[in-house]
A and B are shown apart, each in its own frame.
Chain A
Amino acid sequence: MSLLTEAPEASAARENPARRRRRVDRLPYLLLLPALVIIGVLLLWPLGQVVTMSFYRLNSVRQLRGDREWPWVGLGNYTQILSDPFFLTVLRNTVLFAVANVLLTMILGTLVGLLLNRLGRKMATFVASCVMLAWATPALTGTIVWKWIFDDTSGLVTWLFNALPDRLSTSLFGHSDWTGYGWFNSPLLFFSILTLVVVWHSFPFIAVSVLAGLKSVPSELHEAARVDGAGPWRAFWKITFPLLRPVFGILIVLSTIWDFKVFTQQFVLAGGTQDRPTFMLSIYSYAEAFSPPPKYGLGAAIAVILTLILLVVTGFYVRMVLRQEDES
Chain B
Amino acid sequence: MNRWKRLAPVTAVVASAAMVLTGCGGSDEKAADDSKLTVWMMGEGGDAQNKFLDGVETEFKQKHPDTDVVVQYIPWLEAPKKFQAALAGGEGPDITELGNTETQGWAAQEALADVSGRMGGWADSKDILPDLVKNAQLDGKQYGVPWYAGVRAIYYRTDWFAEAGVKPPTTWEELVSVAKTVQAKKPGTYGIALPGNSELPFYSFLWGAGGEIATNEGGTWKSGYTTPEAQKAVKFWTDLVTVHKVAPPAAAGWNEIDARTQFATGKAAMAFAGSWQQGAIKKDNPEIEKVWGTFPIPGPDGKAAPGFAGGSDVAVWKDSERQDLAWDYLTVLLNKKNSQTFASSLGFFPVYQDLVAGGTYANDKVMASFATTMQNTKLTPLTPKWVEVSRNKTVTQAMNSSVMKGQKTVEKATADAAAEMEGILNSK
Residues of A within 8 A of B (CB): 3-4, 7-8, 10-11, 30, 33-34, 37-38, 41, 60-62, 64-65, 152-153, 179-186, 271, 273-277, 287-288, 291-294
Q: Are the C-beta atoms of B405 and A185 separated by less than 8 Å?
A: yes
A182 touches B405 (CB 8 A): yes
**Cα distance, A3 to B7, chains bound together (Å):** 8
Q: Mark B401-413, 1 if CB is under 8 A from A, else 0.
A: 0001101000000
Centre residue among A3, A61, A273 by max chain B CB count within 10 A: A61
A273-B394 Cα distance, complex, nearest whole Å: 9
| Interface stretch of the complex, out of B28-36, B149-157, B244-252, B356-364 | B244-252
Flag if B87 contacts A62 (CB, 8 Å).
yes
Does B384 contact A182, Cβ atoms closer than 8 Å? no
Extra pairs beyond A61-B88, A291-B392, A292-B105 (8, CB < 8 Å): A41-B17, A61-B84, A182-B248, A182-B252, A292-B80, A292-B388, A293-B105, A293-B109
Complexed CA–CA distance, A288 and B393 (Å)? 9
Complex CA gap A287/B384 in Å reads 18
Q: Does B80 lie within 8 Å of A182, measured CB to CB?
A: no
User: How far does the alpha carbon of A60 sit from the alpha carbon of B88 in the complex, in Å?
Assistant: 10
Q: Is the CB of A271 within 8 A of B391?
A: no
Given contacts A276-B393, A287-B392, contact A41 B21 (CB under 8 A): yes
Contacts of B6 in A (CB 8 A): 3, 7, 10
Complex CA distance for A34 and B405, rounded to whole angstroms:
54
Q: Which residues does chain A contribute within 8 Å of B2, judged by CB atoms?
A: 7, 11
Task: Decide yes or no whether B14 CB sits under 8 A from chain A.
Answer: yes
Residues from chain B with Cβ under 8 Å of A11 in the complex: 2-3
Q: CB of B161 within 8 A of chain A?
A: no
Please, how many angstroms separate the alpha-carbon atoms of A7 and B111 in the complex? Answer: 52
Chain B neighbourhood of A179, CB < 8 A: 188, 248
Give complex CA distance A293, B105 in Å. Answer: 7
Q: For chain B residues 117-152, which have a beta carbon within 8 Å of chain A?
A: none
**7 A–B contacts, CB within 8 A, in A order:** A7-B6, A11-B2, A61-B111, A181-B249, A271-B253, A277-B407, A293-B384
Interface centre among A182, A271, A277 (most CB of B within 10 A): A182
Task: For residue B415, give the distance in angstroms from its CB to the closest CB of chain A.
Answer: 16
Asked if B262 is an interface residue, CB under 8 A from chain A, the answer is yes
Encoded as 1 (CB less than 8 Å from any A CB) or 0, chain B from 379 to 401 comes to 00000100110011110011000
Nearest chain B residue, comparing its CB with the CB of A150: B250
Q: Which residues of chain B come closer than 8 Å to A185, judged between CB atoms?
A: 249-250, 252-253, 404-405
CB distance from B49 to the nearest CB of A (A): 27
**Contact between B394 and A61, CB atoms less than 8 A apart:** no
CA distance A273 to B255 in the complex (A): 13
Q: Most chain-A Cβ atoms within 10 A of its Cβ — which of B262, B267, B392?
A: B392
B197 / chain A contacts, CB cutoff of 8 Å:
271, 274
Interface of B is mostly: helix
Does B9 reach chain A (CB closer than 8 Å)?
yes
Measured as residues with beta carbon below 8 angstroms from the partner, the interface class of chain B is: 35 or more
Set of chain A residues within 8 Å of B251, measured between Cβ atoms: 180, 182
Chain A residues with CB under 8 Å of B392's CB are 273, 287-288, 291-293
Assess whether A274 is in contact with B250, with CB atoms less than 8 Å apart.
no
Name the distance in Å between A38's Cβ and chain B's nearest Cβ.
8
Contact residue among A10, A38, A62, A275 (Cβ-Cβ distance under 8 Å from B109): A62
Closest residue to B391 on the A side, CB-wise?
Answer: A292
Query: Is B24 interfacial (CB-CB < 8 Å)?
Result: no
Residue from A8, A180, A186, A287 having most chain B Cβ neighbours under 10 A: A180
From A11, which residue of chain B is reached at the shortest CB distance? B2
> In the complex, what residues of A have CB within 8 A of residue B207's CB?
none
A61 to B247, CA, bound (A): 41
Chain B: minimal CB distance from A176 (Å):
13
- B320 to A: closest C-beta gap in Å: 15
Q: Is the CB of B9 within 8 A of A30?
A: yes
Mask, B166-205, CB within 8 Å of A = 1, is 0000000000000000000000101000000100000000
Contact, CB under 8 Å: B253 / A182: yes
Residue of A whose beta carbon sits closest to that of B392: A291
Nearest-CB residue, chain A, relative to B86: A61
CA distance A33 to B7 in the complex (A): 12
Cβ of B108 within 8 Å of any chain A Cβ, yes or no, is yes
Pair B109/A186 contact, Cβ less than 8 Å:
no
What 7 pairs between A and B have smallest CB-CB spacing?
Answer: A180-B248, A152-B250, A182-B249, A61-B87, A291-B392, A182-B250, A185-B405
| Bound CA–CA A277/B7 (angstroms) | 55
Cα A287 to Cα B393 in complex, Å, equals 9
Which B residues lie within 8 Å of A152 (CB)?
A: 248, 250
The answer to whether A271 and B255 have CB atoms under 8 Å apart is: yes
B110 at interface, CB cutoff 8 A? yes
B267 touches A153 (CB 8 A): yes
Residues 15 to 74 of chain B near chain A (Cβ within 8 Å): 17, 20-21
Interface centre among B110, B249, B253, B404 (most CB of A within 10 A): B253
